[in-house]
Amino acid sequence: MGRAGLRVPTPCVSACPAVTVGPPSAQSERERGDAMTPTLTALLCLGLSVGPRTRAQAGTRPKPTIWAEPGSVMPWGTSVTIWCQGGLEAQEYRLYKDGESRVWDRQEPLESRDKAKFSITHMTDVHAGRYHCNYFSPTGWSEPSDPLELVLVTGLLDKPRLSAQPSPVVTSGGNVTLQCASQMRFHRFVLMREGERQPSWTLGSQAAPHGGTQALFPVGPMTPSLRWTFRCYGYYSNTPQIWSDPSDPLELLVSGVSGKPSLLTQQDTVVTYGQSLTLQCRSDVSYNRFALSKEGAPDPPRQLGRQTQAGLSGADFPLGPVRPSHGGRYMCYGGHTLSSEWSAPSEPLDILLAGQLPYTPSLSVQPGPTVAPGENVTLLCQSQSSMDTFLLSKEGAADPPLRLRSQYRAGQHQAEFSMSPVTSAHGGTYRCYGSASTSPYLLSQPSDPLELLVSGPHWYLYILLTAAVAFVLLLSLLVLLLVLHQRRVKGRKPGAADPEPKDRGLHDSSSPAPAAQEESLYASMQDIQPEEGVELDHQNTQDDPQGTTYAQVTASDTPQDVTYAQLNCLTLRQETSVSPPSQSGKPPAEPSVYAALAIQ
């Protein structure tokens, strides 16, 4: 019962009868029918005796490994070596090519005993095909290796174009689509990554939007630890091992989060055909390589080494004489040599190419080209030709041109650029352009220049305003002084003695001063209503070398107003004149005191 599940093949020698095989024409129809049964029996017996033994022997040795050096995709006329590596007991290696009934080549193992090489000195279309190998050991033949596709690049088929959508710069962990396209209408496309021996992906073609065929290869997620450089090929179904020339290599840049550089240009962002143009990438981070990328461009990013200027690392990317293909949006990146990761992208810089559309818009301003600060200004760009977008550019401005969608009014395509309120910074020379949505970076001819003047009030208004302010300030000062003077006069108490003058500039009349240098000034002091007890005292200070005479007025207890006068740098000469007494002997009604003052 334990052996019921086992099936042991019966030896063919005892189970199968002998069979005589002869030409069918020498036998009758009945003999032919009788002969078919022994023949089929013999074949079945042969299969039972050989098949299990062959599978048992093949399973005793692992299958070898096959590869080609320097690669499996080789140009015409080059040499290539096919390697087959098996076990140490291998005694012979064989190479087979699909479609060939015989063994393609036989080789004894090398000194290491575990591999053999098959050399092709001159690659042609005869050598293109699918190969596999096996080896023989004391226990029998090994299983065949996996197939090796040996491909020939003849140089007769144009290379396809490889591009990344939407950009060859991908953030870490992101995905990208690689487009391989050709006008040769290939049936299939192959994408290969540099450093790999076998094709990475093979896809059937589809119709391309602009003619020809294409294949779209999804790639990702991207990691900065690897190099992502690809090429693609195309071929026809009837010759699957004869490929086109390889596309130009496309390196994908994996951007990270490190400090982004700045992208700028010394010229205006609106350029003309044939003009020299250089884009500058600058960073305060010490990057030692930089890359410039154009959005949507099939070309891979341009890479340059570091150039240190004014403490900043950077690189200058000369684009040469400007052509229509230079119009577009650019970004730059910084990186380090020892890392495959790049920095965050710079802010985008748009390069606009003027004069590519055969239209010239007009530019006008409302209310006029000369305005005062704070007013509202509108620049109107118009065209009778159809425009999708209008752009307003200021000469010498660092900012990109302003963009507005076109509006159709009164038989004109137009856009209104408002400035409110206007400042002196708005002054300058303006031009406007038109563009189409299908090529937003290719502009029309520029409009005639329009100069906007922002000026304030005229000069005489400033003078009047300044004079008015000065007059108000002077009048306020005079009023203040008058008020202060009145308060001082009212604040003095009656009967208070005059303070002793501190000015030493008063001299007696006896002071020797040249008569030619003196000018006499006489002051008359008159007491209109003389009061009792009022007297004028004269004192001559002996200690004063100048002989200065001081006069003091004393008053009775009756309150009265006293007027003071201070004389500086004067020589005082006093004279008292008394009217002669009258005939009646009464004193004069109005005694007078005179003082002569000499000014030095």
Same domain, 89 and 116: yes
Q: Per the structure, how many domains does the chain have?
A: 6
Nearest to 343 by CA among 111, 110, 107, 172: 172
Same domain, 143 and 111: yes
Same domain, 149 and 76: yes
Nearest to 111 by CA among 134, 141, 140, 90: 90
Same domain, 174 and 112: no
Same domain, 549 and 598: yes
Residue 563 lies in a domain: no
Element (H, E) at 388: none
Distance between the two ends of the chain, CA-based, in angstroms? 160
Residue 10 lies in a domain: no
Query: Which range of residues forms the domain containing residue 370?
Result: 360-454
The residue behind tokens 């030692």 is 288
* CATH number of the domain where residue 421 is located: 2.60.40.10
> What is the predicted pLDDT for the residue at 434?
96
Element (H, E) at 85: strand 80-85
pTM, two decimal places: 0.54
The domain boundary residue, chosen from 229, 254, 279: 254
Joined together, the tokens standing for residue 251 give: 């390196």
The domain boundary residue, chosen from 454, 471, 490: 454
> How many angstroms separate the CA atoms of 369 and 427, rounded?
10
Residue 538 lies in a domain: yes
> What is the predicted pLDDT for the residue at 542?
44
> What is the predicted pLDDT for the residue at 396?
84
Same domain, 270 and 349: yes
Residue 7 lies in a domain: no
Nearest to 233 by CA among 261, 264, 265, 192: 192
Nearest to 84 by CA among 92, 93, 75: 93
Same domain, 236 and 271: no
Nearest to 292 by CA among 328, 246, 339: 328
Same domain, 382 and 320: no
The domain boundary residue, chosen from 153, 173, 198: 153
Residue 375 lies in a domain: yes
- Along the 600 residues of the chain, how does pLDDT read in single tens digits? 333 333 333 333 333 333 333 333 333 333 333 333 333 333 333 333 333 334 334 445 788 999 999 989 999 999 999 999 998 889 999 999 999 989 999 999 998 888 999 999 999 999 999 999 999 999 899 999 999 999 999 888 999 999 888 888 888 888 999 999 999 999 999 999 887 766 778 999 999 988 999 999 999 888 877 778 899 999 999 999 999 999 999 888 888 777 889 999 888 889 999 999 999 999 988 888 899 988 877 667 788 776 766 678 889 999 889 999 999 999 999 988 877 788 888 999 999 999 999 999 999 999 999 998 889 999 999 999 999 999 999 988 878 899 999 999 888 999 999 998 999 889 999 999 999 999 999 999 999 999 999 986 544 456 677 888 888 998 898 998 888 888 888 876 555 545 554 444 444 444 444 443 444 333 333 444 444 444 444 444 444 444 444 444 444 444 444 444 454 444 444 444 444 454 444 555 545 545 554 444
Same domain, 298 and 266: yes
CB 597 within 8 A of CB 513: no
> What is the predicted pLDDT for the residue at 299?
67
Same domain, 234 and 312: no
CB 337 within 8 A of CB 289: yes
Quick check: helix, strand or coil at residue 512? coil
Residue 491 lies in a domain: no
Same domain, 430 and 518: no
DSSP 577-588: E-PPPPTT-PPP
Residue 474 lies in a domain: no
Same domain, 185 and 227: yes
Residue 429 lies in a domain: yes
> How many angstroms separate the CA atoms of 162 and 363, rounded?
43
